């Protein structure tokens, strides 16, 4: 049961700190407590803080950390952001300027870039899906014959061969 904790380096001090215990770790703590072990002994055995063990024993089960729900400045404007982003060809700075002009919301460019990130991926996928490879002046229903040029019948094959030293002659 040694080394059952998870460690992550803290870069500013060079020390390590504990991460949240896994459900299995907490189950072990609870089982050892049922067997009569004290919090201090369980903490020593599992290599965690005594207070960590006490907290989990008090809770009686493993609970995930709660992520705080924060309101964002651009909440409710997702549809407008998408429409504006597509209208301006993926230019987040123009969207930011429109946001200030039309809605009176002043935010940083990075805030707008984060908000339009999913739309940027959709715009890139749509652009990639519509790329056409063809000759200029050829319609979508017309076909073009592109001759196959092998090494032997390439117009520069003699010069390249002489340069590489694999062919002699004029």
Q: Distance of alpha carbon 163 from its chain centroid, rounded?
A: 48
Residue 169 has pLDDT above 60, yes or no: no
pLDDT, tens only, 45-87 = 988 999 989 989 998 888 777 777 888 888 888 899 999 998 9
CA-to-CA dists, residue 164 to 132, 154, 155, 157, angstroms: 36, 15, 16, 10
Q: What are the tokens at 78?
A: 């997702």
In this prediction, residues 134-160 reach a mean pLDDT of 60
What is the model's pLDDT at position 110? 94
d(CA 143, CA 155): 25
Quickly state the pLDDT bin for 125 (edges 50, 70, 90): confident
Residue 4 has pLDDT above 70, yes or no: no
d(CA 37, CA 97): 63
With CA atoms as reference, report the closest residue to 109 among 123, 99, 119, 118.
99
d(CA 73, CA 104): 11
What is the model's pLDDT at position 96? 93
pLDDT, tens only, 77-116 = 889 999 999 898 889 999 999 999 999 999 999 999 999 9
Residue 153 has pLDDT above 80, yes or no: no
CA-to-CA dists, residue 166 to 22, 101, 155, 160, 169, angstroms: 66, 67, 16, 9, 10
What is the model's pLDDT at position 150? 60
Cα angle 78-80-82, degrees, rounded to a multiple of 5: 70
On average, the pLDDT of the chain sits at 76
Cα angle 56-17-12, degrees, rounded to a multiple of 5: 150
Contact 164/153 with Cβ under 8 angstroms?
no
pTM of structure: 0.41
pLDDT, tens only, 16-45 = 444 678 888 899 999 999 999 999 999 999
Q: What are the tokens at 7?
A: 């460690």
């Amino acid at each position: 049961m040694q080394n059952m904790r998870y460690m992550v380096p803290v870069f500013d001090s060079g020390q390590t700190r504990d991460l949240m215990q896994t459900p299995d770790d907490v189950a072990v703590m609870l089982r050892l407590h049922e067997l009569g072990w004290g919090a201090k002994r369980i903490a020593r055995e599992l290599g965690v803080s005594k207070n960590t063990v006490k907290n989990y024993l008090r809770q009686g089960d493993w609970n995930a950390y709660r992520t705080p729900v924060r309101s964002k400045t651009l909440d409710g404007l997702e549809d407008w952001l998408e429409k504006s982003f597509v209208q301006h060809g993926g230019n987040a700075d123009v969207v930011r300027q429109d946001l200030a002009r039309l809605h009176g919301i002043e935010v940083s460019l990075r805030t707008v870039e984060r908000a339009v990130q999913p739309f940027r991926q959709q715009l890139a996928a749509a652009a990639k899906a519509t790329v056409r490879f063809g000759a200029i002046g050829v319609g979508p229903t017309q076909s073009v014959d592109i001759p196959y040029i092998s090494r032997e019948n390439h117009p520069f094959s003699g010069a390249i061969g002489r340069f590489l030293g694999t062919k002699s002659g004029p």
